[in-house]
Chains A and B, each alone.
Chain A
Amino acid sequence: MEMTSERNWRTRVGDWFDERFDVRIPLEAFLKKPVPKHAIRWYFCLGGITFALFLIQGVTGILLSLYYRPTPGEAYESILFIMNNVRFGWLIRSIHSWSSTLMIAFCVAHMLRVFITGSYKNPRELNWVAGMFLLLLTLAFGFTGYLLPWDQKALWGSTVGSEIVGIIPGIGGWLLGLLRGGMEITGLTLTRFYGIHMLVLPVLVFIFLAIHFVIIRRQGISGPL
């Protein structure tokens, strides 16, 4: 009965990794950093909830990509296929759609909390900037994802949304063409938005999330009011 308890088993696995990578102390410092008492409040969870929603978007988005086809002829058909033929396709797509709205809402709520508690102030200015980039990236996710179902709502939503870029004096028309891949919304816009939604934005979000998290661990949560 000596060395068979659960605790010993776990310690031994930990030792095995620690011997090779010398990782226990830095990892424990990272994972077991205590949360200060004033921060144990529901409104200090808003950023974490946003991150959890981002992870949900990642998982459901990958699942949707297995059936979605980004061509004008097939995009809407593939959406119908996901909703009607794929088992739980309605659930996965609905979670993706609703979580996108919730993610933006929680981003803004998190931002309000940081603003009200004054957490953006010196020395945390750059983390506010990183958070601003994350908000813009989240909005870009929502905007590019909106076109992908390729129905009337998507088409006109994207038409109106991208026309806003077109009214910038001087370079507006040029930017509009760059965004749409032409002056009209066509199949080129669809593949462009799909590529941005699936590849460009996730990479950028991961970079800014890493910055956001490293800074918060380095500086700690801001003090009480």
Chain B
Amino acid sequence: MEEPVNPMHDREVGQPVSRRGLFKYVLLAFSALATAGGVLTPIIAYLWPPKQASAAGGGRVQIAATEDLPEGTGEVYSVNNKPVLVIHTAEGYRALSAICTHLGCILFWNEQREVIACPCHEAYFSTNGAVISGPPTSALEEYRLVVEDGEIYVEGGEA
């Protein structure tokens, strides 16, 4: 005499899984996973660091007011998550990549000597991005810069 196995109850120890029992487990696991995924995906994505001060598709980004950057000064800003050095010289405003073309250190504006300097290996760049001295072999990439109503905008960078 074989005992009928009720698939909705826990199976006996050592019994093979019945067809219906397998269905039950697979459906349960699928429902649990789908629910967890549906709830956790938005929450984890929400917690992920959001994009800062970016324009969708790498468009132009407002970085500062003209009065924040008097002539002779320069400042590094984050434009679409890339460091960009904006300098104000006698010829006007200019935006250059602040990443040294040698090993990627972040450059700064040397006000006294009016050059762009690298803190890592004594490299210097001129105000148009060309190498003056030091290990770098290529010039700095330039960004398009627009001044409108007393506000400075920089275009480009990685979105």
Contacts and interface: CB of A to CB of B under 8 A. Distances in A.
The 10 closest A-B pairs by CB, nearest first: A88-B42, A87-B45, A86-B50, A1-B14, A85-B50, A88-B46, A5-B13, A88-B45, A7-B10, A91-B42
Contacts of A79: none
Nearest to B54: A85
B10 A81 contact: no
Nearest to A89: B46
Interface residues of A, number: 19
Interface residues of B, number: 14
A63 B47 CA distance: 8
B51 interface: yes
Given A5-B13, A85-B50, A92-B43, 10 more contacts: A1-B13, A1-B14, A7-B10, A63-B46, A86-B46, A87-B45, A87-B50, A88-B42, A88-B45, A88-B46
Task: Tell me what chain B mostly uses at the interface: helix, strand, loop, or mixed.
Answer: loop
Contacts of A67: 50
A67 B42 CA distance: 15
Contacts of A85: 50-52, 54
B100 to A, nearest CB: 29
Nearest to B46: A88
Interface in B47-86: 47-48, 50-52, 54
Given A63-B43, A88-B42, A6 B10 contact: yes
Contacts of B50: 67, 81, 85-87, 89
Nearest to A7: B10
Contacts of A19: none
